[in-house]
């Protein structure tokens, strides 16, 4: 737990350095090949202790057992850490945070990695949804004392954009919100590296309990050629 907390603190410090770097010289991708499903699952696992402390149910669900692609581990890691940190920050005790990953296709049949981070928190007002990705913008929640810098979601948008992707937010009925990240799948063909971190579906779901596919909004704002995780048959319970 100490190591995980120290890692999160280090990520926050690095985030401030990234923020400063973007003003000075901009960001650049450092791509490497690997199993992004396993990578995201491991990041979710680092929030297990916080999940238990806050009594917030955390689930990870992947519609595919593995996906070998080229991505910047550092930047995708910071994207997920920010989205998960926000989800836990605004979700009251007894709530839930769901992470779902799928491989879909856009209208041009380009493979897209879809990541959804949903919570049952206080939600985001309609007028704030278009501005939350702006630098230093903070949502005004009367009666709720939650401090922040207004930098995290701006970094999320910048790092996703660097990967050629998009990020949007929508409501998670009856309460909370869902952040949807779309990243085009790129493969370099380096099979030796790609095969190093392949995991089976059983190994992935064993690390964080998954009782069923998370339920997300019925209508997505993004075109997709395949079914969403909520429309698929639930995976058998791990363990």
**pLDDT of the residue at 168:** 94
**Cα(192)–Cα(55) distance, rounded to whole angstroms?**
41
Picking from 189, 132, 180, the residue whose alpha carbon sits closest to that of residue 160 is 180
pLDDT above 70 covers a percentage of the chain that reads: 62
SS3 182: strand
201 or 144, which is more confident? 144
Check whether 47 has a pLDDT greater than 70: yes
Residue 151 has a CB neighbour count (10 Å cut-off) of 18
Kindly report the backbone phi and psi dihedral angles of residue 117, in degrees, each rounded to the nearest multiple of 5, phi listed first: -120, 110
Span 182-203, average pLDDT: 54
Q: Which segment of 7-11, 14-18, 110-114, 154-158 scores lowest on mean pLDDT? A: 14-18
Q: Cα torsion for 78, 70, 157, 170, to the nearest 10°?
A: -100
**Tokens describing residue 156:** 């999320």
Check whether 200 has a pLDDT greater than 70: no
**pLDDT of the residue at 161:** 93
pTM of the model: 0.70
Q: What are 62-92's pLDDT values in tens digits?
A: 999 999 999 999 999 999 999 999 899 889 9
């Amino acid at each position: 737990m100490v190591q995980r907390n120290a890692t999160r603190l280090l990520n926050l410090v690095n985030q401030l350095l990234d923020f400063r770097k973007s003003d000075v010289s901009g960001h650049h991708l450092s791509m490497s090949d690997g199993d992004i499903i396993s990578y995201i699952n491991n990041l979710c696992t680092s929030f297990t202790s916080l999940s238990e402390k806050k009594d917030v149910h955390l689930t990870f669900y992947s519609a595919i057992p593995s996906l070998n692609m080229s991505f910047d581990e550092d930047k995708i890691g910071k994207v997920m850490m920010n989205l998960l940190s926000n989800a836990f920050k605004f979700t009251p005790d007894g709530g839930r945070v769901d992470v779902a990953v799928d491989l879909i296709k856009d209208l041009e049949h380009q493979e897209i990695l879809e990541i959804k981070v949903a919570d049952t928190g206080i939600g985001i007002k309609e007028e704030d949804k278009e501005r939350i990705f702006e630098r230093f913008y903070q949502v005004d929640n009367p009666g709720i004392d939650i401090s922040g810098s207004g930098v995290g979601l701006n970094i999320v948008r910048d790092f996703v954009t660097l990967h050629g992707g998009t990020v949007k937010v929508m409501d998670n009925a009856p309460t909370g919100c869902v952040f949807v990240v779309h990243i085009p799948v790129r493969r370099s063909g380096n099979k030796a590296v790609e095969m190093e971190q392949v995991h089976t579906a059983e190994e992935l779901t064993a690390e964080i309990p998954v009782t069923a596919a998370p339920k997300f909004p019925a209508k997505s704002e993004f075109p997709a050629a395949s079914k969403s995780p909520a429309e698929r048959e639930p995976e058998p319970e791990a363990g």
